[in-house]
Structure 1
Amino acid sequence: MSADLNSPHQNNPGIMALPIDPDSETSTPDHVPLDSRDILIVDDTVNNIRLIAEMLSLAGYSVRKAISGPMALTAVEANPPDLILLDITMPDMDGYEVCSRLKVDAKTRDIPIIFLSALDAAFDKVRALQLGGADYITKPFLKEEVLIRIENQLRLRQFKQDLETRNQDLENTLYQLKATQMELVQREKMLGLSQLISGIAHEVNNPISFIAGNLEPAEQYFETLVTLLDLYRQHYPDPEGEIKSAIATADLDFIVADFASLLKSIHSGTVRICDIVQALQTFSHQGESDTKTINLHATLDSILVLLQTRLRGQGNRPAIAVQCHYSDIPAVTCDAKLIGQVFMHLLNNAIDAIDALGKEDSGTSETASSPTLSIYTSVTDNQSVSVTIQDTGIGIAKPLHSRIYEPFFTTKSVGNGTGLGLAISYQIVVEKHKGSLSFESTPHQGSKFTVQLPIKFQG
């Protein structure tokens, strides 16, 4: 049992509290909002609790009482106080154990604890402070001293909480500054890229249209020449020796047979270039307003055309099989350039993940030997559609999942990633379009990113 503060001095080492000097300044802290300060007194001696509670109540504090360690822990768990006055010597559970339990719990470790005990040995004080106590007051005590120490601890805690709040505000501001800087840099970059793509598409479109427009007449002229040549050979089967020699040297029969194949190859290449030009124009949306209604399937197809060179086999990695599982979805009103940028980031990341797995497994695993990129579209409800991009790549380790959308964070090797792609995509989809961007990933099995967009964008 701890000492009773009301017992006589000669029989009790924990004598009553010394009186306040009536001429001293008031002990009630007038610059601390007392009405919101909740103090828990823990002591197994009822008279001690009564005396301290009366003193604190007169000072304006809200007071709660606990007469044992277990009761104190229950009270703190139910409603954490602003400060605890804790006696050490109590049956069943002493103050040291109470303090230890409170300090290991994240919810209660920051509550300041002032030990108030008749034990005045240096060992007791050191142990109390080592366990996390904020202060130690030995009995007998001055009421003024107790009140001032309580006020100091409450102020320290308030300063700490204010500092944590300001630090959090600074972190949020820094994050916003980084996000704004990232958005400005990326917006400028995409504007320049869009203008460059549009310019290239325009410049390539003119000569390729000229070539495509002249291929059909060229084929007709060639057929006419071959017909005339056949007629000539039928009517003059035995030409002069010089002509025979020239025909043999030129291998005229091979030229006639191969020229048709050559024209077909030129036609096929021209069609391919036209498709690329169309894809570039679709991706850049140059000359169009930012917000427009688009066909997501056309946007995805145009990006896949632009990524054809990356989808082909690379070193030991075979070509990536692309599977498009398109559903019947409505056109979506959105910022077309930004949404195209999101899908470009996600598809590029999927290919990077497949490449990374191919390098790590050297094509020995099933996913590395048969890389696949799948795209799914669907209507999620009457107001939104979803696009899922799934790969059979290297995947993302579980501990990194919480950081995947952080600006400048990347799982790629140095020099192979800026850490902006997913952060920008999240900003575009979630913050600008009020949609959602989620993912699932398993190491060495692949990742699945799902973009959900509202059908009508309120920009």
Structure 2
Amino acid sequence: MSKILVVEDDSATRLLLKRDLQLEGYEVAVAKNGEEGLEKALNLRPALILCDWMMPLMDGVEVCRRLKATPDLASTFFILLTARDSVADRVQGLDAGADDFVSKPIESNELLARVRAGLRVYQYQQQLSETNQQLSQTLQELQQTQAQLVQSEKMSSLGQMVAGIAHAINNPIAFISGNLAHTRNSIADLLNLIHLYQRHYHNPVSEIQLALENIDWEFLSEDLPKSLELMSSGANRIRDLVVKLKSFSRLDEAEIKQVDIHEGIDNTLLLLEHRLSKNSSDNLSTNDSLILDSGLPILDDSESSLQTSNFNDGTNPKSNYDAKIKVIKEYGYLPIVECYPAQLNQVFFNILNNAIDYLEEENGEAPTPSIWIRTRLLDGNWVEIAIANNGSGMTPNIIQQIFNPFFTTKPVGKGTGLGLAIAYSIVVDKHKGLLECRSSKGEGTEFLIKIPTHQQV
């Protein structure tokens, strides 16, 4: 049953209009002046309004103008009742937003015909609006699906590439590591044999004496074991990198499993280490590390190139590793979490990669470009991972769109606008969790990831 509002200051006309409309089966409300009419329109949300033009305090044209300026009522079909028939009057009414006119004195059949026509137009508009909303929703779903397909393909390719590289490196490094132990023992035997010759043959022939001087025997006998140890440490480091690369790709594991969240974060940082440092890590020894400060107890991986220190006074130990972006890990206690680890690693990768992009774009405007990673357990059943940076922050308008597919603030060719949209889908849709962005200009940006410790499959 369609709702109709009659706004008329003449009581006789008001009652007559109400009776005729009710006999046609409409739900009718009445108002005796413009202000009352606006108030009832806001409360009732009628499909059609019949409003007298000439009324005290607020005439019908002003009622129409205010009604059409209200978004929730703009689609209401508005008919002005008037004895005015000049072109100028009709133009004034149309400019105010009136949809139709009924001349006074009112002829009942004409009125009802115009009401029926107006209600048809209103219903068509409502159907069109619903269709537009459905199309908009469908378009958004298609964009999300497209984003997921593109990103899934990208990450699948990345995972396969990482796994392939890890497999290709694993075989030769295993050969090197296995033979280094034999080489170390063989060289130790040879050195021992030479020392025995020196001990029992004090006066070697001049040719041997000259050869010992040319090779700097004293230095060689001390340096050769050290060199072997360094090669062994380097091989162990490469083997550790291979393990972490395989762990990041997780192609050979079940889609959902129980994992250590901190391990996933550390493995992701490992892949981004080249972007965090000023110098290439290829020439670093095993003792070189990215300095990571922490104020909370954390898991420590002594062999990882991304290590953690605990310096509450704000100072760092001396290191020949020159960090471009400082990473501060504040790991709290987390239990083993049931999740989709490969996809969760994508979330960490996308958010950290974006943070690095923005800190790099600001060209050192921040005193010390830094990223904080904090973890904690919430209420026993949820875990929270916070990833923050001290960049310049974002405006509220950007924050509202940050998770929309294909939205990006990066220059053309620098970003697709898929990373955060996919991260949101993985956290919210896949893990039934929450992903929030908190930021303000000049205050940096923080992403909060919250997921349950157990998934309802």
Settle same-fold status: TM greater than 0.5: yes
Q: What SS is found at the alignment partner of 1:407?
A: coil
Whether 2:341 is the aligned partner of 1:336: answer yes
Q: Deviations for 1:107-128, whole angstroms, at most 9, x for unmatched residues?
A: 2222221110112222211101
Alignment match, 2:36: 71
Equivalents in 2 of 1:187, 1:224: separation in Å?
55
Q: Is the 8 A contact 1:198 1:284 kept in 2?
A: yes
Whether 2:345 is the aligned partner of 1:347: answer no
Q: Is the 8 A contact 1:342 1:425 kept in 2?
A: yes
Whether 2:122 is the aligned partner of 1:117: answer no
Aligned residue type for 1:288: E
TM-score, normalisation: structure 1 = 0.84
**Alpha-carbon offset, residue 421 of structure 1:** 1.0
**Alpha-carbon offset, residue 364 of structure 1:** 4.5
Q: How does 1:138-217 map onto structure 2 within 5 Å? A: 138-217=103-182
Q: What SS is found at the alignment partner of 1:107?
A: helix
**Alpha-carbon offset, residue 257 of structure 1:** 4.5
Alignment match, 1:294: 259
Q: What SS is found at the alignment partner of 1:417?
A: coil
Structure showing greater Rg: 1
**Larger deviation, residues 247-256 vs 200-209:** 247-256
Aligned residue type for 2:423: S
Alignment match, 1:103: 68
**Alpha-carbon offset, residue 77 of structure 1:** 2.2
Alignment match, 1:273: 238
**Alpha-carbon offset, residue 137 of structure 1:** 2.0
Equivalents in 2 of 1:267, 1:309: separation in Å?
23
Equivalents in 1 of 2:199, 2:93: separation in Å?
117
Equivalents in 2 of 1:441, 1:122: separation in Å?
56
Aligned residue type for 2:90: K
TM-score, normalisation: structure 2 = 0.84
Q: Deviations for 1:299-320, whole angstroms, at most 9, x for unmatched residues?
A: 11221222221221279x9522
Q: Is the 8 A contact 1:84 1:111 kept in 2?
A: yes
Runs of 4 or more, structure 1, over 6 Å off, are: none
Alignment match, 1:285: 250
Q: What SS is found at the alignment partner of 2:411?
A: coil
Equivalents in 1 of 2:209, 2:27: separation in Å?
119
**Alpha-carbon offset, residue 277 of structure 1:** 0.6
Equivalents in 2 of 1:301, 1:423: separation in Å?
23
Q: What SS is found at the alignment partner of 1:96?
A: helix
Alignment match, 1:323: 328
Q: Do the aligned partners of residues 76 and 364 (structure 1) sit closer, same or farther apart at CA in structure 2, a change above 3 Å counting?
A: closer
Identity of aligned residues (%): 39
Alignment match, 1:22: none
Q: Is the 8 A contact 1:275 1:305 kept in 2?
A: no
Equivalents in 1 of 2:124, 2:241: separation in Å?
62
Q: How does 1:434-453 map onto structure 2 within 5 Å? A: 434-453=432-451
Q: What SS is found at the alignment partner of 1:64?
A: strand
Equivalents in 1 of 2:396, 2:448: separation in Å?
18
CA RMSD of aligned residues (A): 2.3
Whether 2:385 is the aligned partner of 1:380: answer no
Equivalents in 2 of 1:306, 1:375: separation in Å?
16
Equivalents in 1 of 2:232, 2:441: separation in Å?
44
Unaligned runs of 5+ in 2: 281-321
Q: What SS is found at the alignment partner of 1:418?
A: coil
Alignment match, 1:82: 47
Whether 2:97 is the aligned partner of 1:132: answer yes
Q: Do the aligned partners of residues 355 and 341 (structure 1) sit closer, same or farther apart at CA in structure 2, a change above 3 Å counting?
A: same
Q: Deviations for 1:190-234, whole angstroms, at most 9, x for unmatched residues?
A: 333333322322221122122223333433433443444445456
Q: Is the 8 A contact 2:366 2:390 kept in 1?
A: no
**Alpha-carbon offset, residue 143 of structure 1:** 1.8
Q: What SS is found at the alignment partner of 1:166?
A: helix
Aligned residue type for 2:257: K
Equivalents in 1 of 2:370, 2:228: separation in Å?
34
Equivalents in 2 of 1:188, 1:153: separation in Å?
52
Alignment match, 2:427: 429
Match for residue 50 of structure 1 among 15, 40, 48: 15
Q: Deviations for 1:11-59, whole angstroms, at most 9, x for unmatched residues?
A: xxxxxxxxxxxxxxxxxxxxxxxxx211111111111112222221222
Aligned residue type for 1:385: V
**Larger deviation, residues 257-266 vs 96-105:** 257-266
Whether 2:387 is the aligned partner of 1:389: answer yes
Q: How does 1:240-251 map onto structure 2 within 5 Å? A: 240-251=205-216
Alignment match, 1:416: 414
Equivalents in 1 of 2:202, 2:414: separation in Å?
67
Q: What SS is found at the alignment partner of 2:120?
A: helix
Q: Do the aligned partners of residues 314 and 245 (structure 1) sit closer, same or farther apart at CA in structure 2, a change above 3 Å counting?
A: closer
Q: Deviations for 1:70-120, whole angstroms, at most 9, x for unmatched residues?
A: 111221122221111111111111112212221222222222211101122
Alignment match, 1:21: none
